[in-house]
Amino acid sequence: MSEKQIFTLKQVVSSIKKTIDERYKMAYWVKAEMHKLNRFPSGHCFPELVQKEDGKIVAQLSGIIWKTVMDRVNKSFMELLKEPLKEGTNLLLLVKVTFSEKYGLSLQILDVDPSFVLGELQREREETLKRLTKEGILNNNQNLPFPLLPKRIAIISADTSKGLSDFMNVLESNEYGYHFYTHLFPAALQGDIAPNSIQKQLRIIEQVKDYFDIVVIVRGGGGEVSMTCYNNFELCEAIVTFPLPILTGIGHSTNLTVAEMIAYQNGITPTELAEMLIRSFHDFAVPLDDARKIVIRTSENVLLNAGQNLSHAQKLFVALVTSKFSKNRMAVKEIEKDIFRSFKDWNALKAKEIKHESERLVREAQFLLHNYRQRLELPVDKLKPAIERSLRQQNERLGVSSRNVELLSPKMVLKRGYSITRVHGKVISMENPAKKGDKISTFTHDFELESEIKELKKTDDE
């Protein structure tokens, strides 16, 4: 080896740069994942671009996006994808291989194709759907029985979300007095953190699932933002396998996200979702009211029918009884007539018999009377002299007695010389005593003497 040829560093990098510049004159479309964006305060970005195979990085190179390019790219991304350029996505980049003496090899990014990203997102969406279908769980949440009354609602939303306040307003201001119980489980609703944040709240709700009827995910109000996080496989898997029906109201998207497709129901906006829930209360309240009306109407009918039947039966009964009664009355009248006729006949017969009997009795009596009279007449003839004889004897006995009586009469006693003396008109006795000077009257057979007592002496019994 002769004398060493020595180059300065600048000579080397200049040589490399010259070679590279000559070799890579054109710009190329390169497919790569933007691993990190590395945005500097100046607005320029120095992203790390990688290519992965089976999760391992197999190629890596730095990129440069100047601020002006970055602004233009973001604008076109927002227009088409509703989100800015973000890390972790596969991109189709228009690049130029550059070599800077100072910074070395890098890819200067001149443009990023937003439609490629759209395609990538579409691919993720389809991938998620494909996997859910393959696992046979695509319709799991939709096949859950829906509660008759979705009354207790677990809400996954952000405290500040306009969508949440819209949802609550509709629920709380319903004019029917329906009462919902809601509990907020706060979560991030957009961007790369949303899937994990929502899944975390779902895990919490699962532990208290007995206290809820349904879960709703509501989001909205803000500007146009990307909804691609709702195509995330893990999030969608968590939704379909959740034990309660999950309803979504996450905003207007022309292209439904997988989460909205596989949820029990998609209410589109929070307001519409809340109105749907009120309708389901209504769907319950209306048949309830119908049931009430039917119960009233039917029972009225049953009573009316029963009443009519009863009144019909009553009329029939009365008619039957009346007809039976009049028939019987006629029969009774006939019998009565028969009886009367028979009685009259019997009466006549009996009268005849009685007359006959009485005539016979009279005859018999007369006969008997005649007999007795004849029998009596005979002794009367014999009695007459006996009676007359007895009468004579009696008269004779009476004549003797009357003479004896005559001998004892007062006149005869007076005639025999006795007298009766009276004082004060009565016979003188111990009961009617006389005293000296009294005038006394004395009756004899032929005179009445008036005298005055000169001397009074009690008669000596001896």
Partner 1 sequence: MSKEISYDKAFDELQQIVSDMEEGEIGVDELSIKVKRASELIKICKEKLSSTEEDVSKILKGLK
Q: For partner 1, give the closer residue by CB, 207 or 404.
A: 207
Residue 375 CB neighbour total at 10 angstroms: 9
The nearest distance, CB 284 to partner 1, in angstroms, is 7
The nearest distance, CB 146 to partner 1, in angstroms, is 11
The nearest distance, CB 267 to partner 1, in angstroms, is 20
Tokens of 383: 């009695």
The secondary structure element, H or E, covering residue 85 is none
Helix (H, G, I), strand (E, B) or coil at 180: coil
Q: For partner 1, give the closer residue by CB, 98 or 199.
A: 199
The nearest distance, CB 178 to partner 1, in angstroms, is 5
Distance (Å, whole) CA 413 – CA 406: 10
Q: Of all residues in the chain, what percent are helix, strand and coil, respectively (each to 5)?
A: 50, 20, 30
Q: Which residues contact 71 (CB under 8 A, 6 or more apart)?
A: 43
User: What is the 3 state secondary structure string of 394-416?
Assistant: HHHHHHHHHHHHHHCCHHHHHHC
The nearest distance, CB 32 to partner 1, in angstroms, is 42
Q: For partner 1, give the closer residue by CB, 186 or 222.
A: 186
The nearest distance, CB 157 to partner 1, in angstroms, is 16
Distance (Å, whole) CA 220 – CA 162: 6
Q: For partner 1, give the closer residue by CB, 201 or 228.
A: 201
Contact call for residues 142 and 241 (beta carbons, < 8 A): no
Q: For partner 1, give the closer residue by CB, 95 or 244.
A: 244
The nearest distance, CB 295 to partner 1, in angstroms, is 5
* DSSP state letter for 39: B
The nearest distance, CB 197 to partner 1, in angstroms, is 15
Residue 374 CB neighbour total at 10 angstroms: 9
Distance (Å, whole) CA 271 – CA 167: 5
Q: For partner 1, give the closer residue by CB, 99 or 284.
A: 284
Distance (Å, whole) CA 222 – CA 162: 7
Select from 220, 104, 216 the least CA-distant residue to 153: 216
Q: Which residues bind partner 1 (CB under 8 A)?
A: 147-149, 151-152, 176-179, 181, 183, 204, 207-208, 210-213, 281, 284-285, 287-288, 291-292, 294-295, 298-299, 302-303, 306
Select from 229, 261, 285 the least CA-distant residue to 88: 229
The nearest distance, CB 301 to partner 1, in angstroms, is 9
Q: For partner 1, give the closer residue by CB, 208 or 361.
A: 208
Select from 144, 85, 141, 153 the least CA-distant residue to 113: 85
Tokens of 406: 């005559």
Q: For partner 1, give the closer residue by CB, 66 or 178.
A: 178
